[in-house]
Chain A
Amino acid sequence: DTEVTQTPKHLVMGMTNKKSLKCEQHMGHRAMYWYKQKAKKPPELMFVYSYEKLSINESVPSRFSPECPNSSLLNLHLHALQPEDSALYLCASSQGRIRKNQPQHFGDGTRLSIL
């Protein structure tokens, strides 16, 4: 069981569809993250939200649109994705750099397949 909850666990969508990935944490963490992980590769950072404001965008294509409605929720809106976007999308949260000895906590991920 993880303290970061992601839904859905699996998602299959066509290239013209619009869908959203959701992430929720109730640990009081003020930093939330989206990562993309391709098979047999390390996670790659996409976005970071700090205190509900976008602080890092790692040059992610605009077909990915993050949103942080409140301190517990993080969404990733998907539109017009490409087959190469198929991957495991991981959400994480942390206390941020103020708590040096605390790691990021990861959700179980959403496995996304683009047809």
Chain B
Amino acid sequence: ELKVEQNPLFLSMQEGKNYTIYCNYSTTSDRLYWYRQDPGKSLESLFVLLSNGAVKQEGRLMASLDTKARLSTLHITAAVHDLSATYFCAVDPGLFNFGNEKLTFGTGTRLTIIP
């Protein structure tokens, strides 16, 4: 059974600081996603990471993937209040070939940016 763990579960940080969220998964996978969820809202796609060494950046967020270590990171640079949300990674083990995906979500990291 695929397990996806994130740490930390909770993160409170000051504006302007840098921090990293970690996502570890237990089996091989050919794709990993990062999503953001605001309280009471839906999930917004942030990044799709498809290969070992993949790095993607959007604004103050940068995500990377190390498939050999089964680890993805989401790095936050110079945090601003608008980044406060819960961040999930999600892994598709690629075992299904019926035209669909089977995502297992990480435990989530609740990020609070303090002014």
Contact = CB atoms under 8 A, between A and B. Distances in A.
A66 interface: no
A59 interface: no
A55 interface: yes
A19 to B, nearest CB: 21
Interface residues of A, number: 32
For chain B, give the interface size range.
Answer: 20 to 34
Interface string B37-71: 00001111100101000000000000000000000
29 contacts: A2-B42, A31-B100, A42-B88, A42-B105, A42-B108, A44-B105, A45-B102, A45-B104, A48-B100, A50-B98, A50-B100, A55-B96, A56-B96, A56-B102, A94-B100, A96-B100, A96-B101, A97-B94, A97-B101, A101-B50, A103-B33, A103-B45, A103-B48, A104-B103, A106-B44, A107-B42, A108-B41, A108-B42, A109-B42
Q: Return the 4 tightest CB-CB contacts between A and B, nearest first.
A: A42-B105, A103-B45, A31-B100, A96-B99
Interface of A: 2, 30-31, 33, 40-45, 48-51, 55-56, 90, 92, 94, 96-98, 100-109
